[in-house]
Amino acid sequence: MRINGEYVVKGDRELVFALLQDPIFLAKAIPGAERLERVGDDTYEATIRAGVGPVRGTFAGTVQISEQRPPEFYRLTIQGHGAAGFVRGTGAVTLVEVPEGTKILYEGETQIGGRIAQVGQRLVQSVARKMINDGLKVLEAEVKQRAGSSASQTK
């Protein structure tokens, strides 16, 4: 399954990049995340509760960040498994300065298997898009809050 998209956040590219590397923030931003813990340089273990249609479950896995070029690019490799199936994938995130703030461009390729794959690619893809959009809205709110608090500190 291939997924890609873009989203504009009204905020500084360095801040957006830093938040996307922060496991404490990401645990709040990823829908269903129960745990996201750094286990090595650029490697995290995660536990996420997710569901697609009638298939629900908890997935445990790893996320590895590579090819970092702060504050503009990084690549992700994910692997997860649970009773409902497995997911493996790679993705790339590019951050571009635009007049409105920071444009996030994302693209990835995933493979799924097990019961979760049986509900159909379209349903899985729509749930993945919703999770990404929900996480990006949390990112936007955090950037706005931090920008507001830094503006009030400079007064």
DSSP, residue by residue, 125-154 = HHHHHHHHHHHHHHHHHHHHHHHHHHHHHT
Which CATH number does the domain housing residue 130 bear? 3.30.530.20
Tell me which residues of the chain have a pLDDT lower than 50: none
Number of domains in the chain: 1
pLDDT at 152: 57
pLDDT of residue 53: 82
Backbone φ and ψ for 96, nearest 5 degrees, come out as -125, 130
| Residue 4: per-residue pLDDT | 96
Domain range for 98: 2-153
pLDDT of the residue at 150: 67
User: Can you give the pTM of this predicted structure?
Assistant: 0.89
The predicted pLDDT at position 154 comes to: 52
* pLDDT value, residue 153: 59
What integer pLDDT is reported at residue 119 of this predicted model? Answer: 81
From residue 151, how far is each of 3, 13, 92, 103, 146 by CA, in Å? 36, 17, 32, 22, 8
Give the pLDDT confidence score for residue 90 in this predicted structure: 96
